[in-house]
Structure 1
Amino acid sequence: MSLSSHLQELKKKHQHLSDHVAVMQRSPATDDLEIAKLKKQKLMLKEEINKLSTH
């Protein structure tokens, strides 16, 4: 897998998590721990994307 396709895949995953978090935050039966886990995953993906983009 090339670097650019890997970056695209990471960005897709990040966007999917963003969308999922937004939906969960609008839901009345929100699990705050689950949202926190998803946000942590988003942050880790964002850091990975940034790291790979600068190299």
Structure 2
Amino acid sequence: MSEQPTAEPHPEPDRTPHPSRVLAEPATVDACHADYQAAAAIRIRITRQEGR
């Protein structure tokens, strides 16, 4: 009977905490307005896809 090769174990994923850009920047009215304006095209595309 021949030996079957054993599978190599998968390496553990990197679970090191990384700095969050969301937490690093203050939530200001100007920042929220800029985010809302930047997402306008995405909201329009989603609305069209949903058939509204």
Higher relative CO (Cα under 8 Å, sequence separation at least 6) belongs to 1
Using the size of structure 2 for normalisation, the TM-score is 0.32
Using the size of structure 1 for normalisation, the TM-score is 0.31
- Please identify the structure whose Cα radius of gyration is greater: 2
In proportion to residue count, which structure has more helix? 1
